[in-house]
Amino acid sequence: MRREVPIVICFLAGLSFILEYFIPHQNIRPFFENFRQWAIIVIAFAYVLGISNIVRVNYHVIQKKGRDWIYKIVLVLGLFFMIIVGIFFGGIREGTIFFWMYNNAYYPLQSTMFALLAFFIASAAFRAFRVRTFQASLLGITAILVMIGRVPIGENVWKSFPDLVEWIMNVPQLAGKRAIMIGAALGAISTALKVLVGLERTYLGGE
Could you give the CA distance from residue 141 to residue 94 in angstroms, rounded to a whole number? Answer: 46
pLDDT at residue number 96: 82
CB 98 within 8 A of CB 91: yes
Rounded to 5 degrees, φ, ψ at 136 are -65, -40
Q: Of 138, 136, 160, 139, whose CA–CA distance to 149 is shortest?
A: 160
For residue 52, give the amino acid letter: S
Answer whether 78's CB lies under 8 Å from 86's CB.
no
CA-CA distance, 23 to 96, in Å (whole number)? Answer: 42
Which of 164-169's residues contact partners 24+ apart within 8 Å by CB, and which partners? 168/142
pLDDT at 65: 86
* Whole-number percent of the chain with pLDDT over 70: 95
What pLDDT was estimated at residue 184?
Answer: 95
Q: Which parts of the chain sit beneath pLDDT 70?
A: 1-2, 128, 131, 203-207
**H/E element, 48:** helix 29-64
Output the pTM of the full model.
0.56
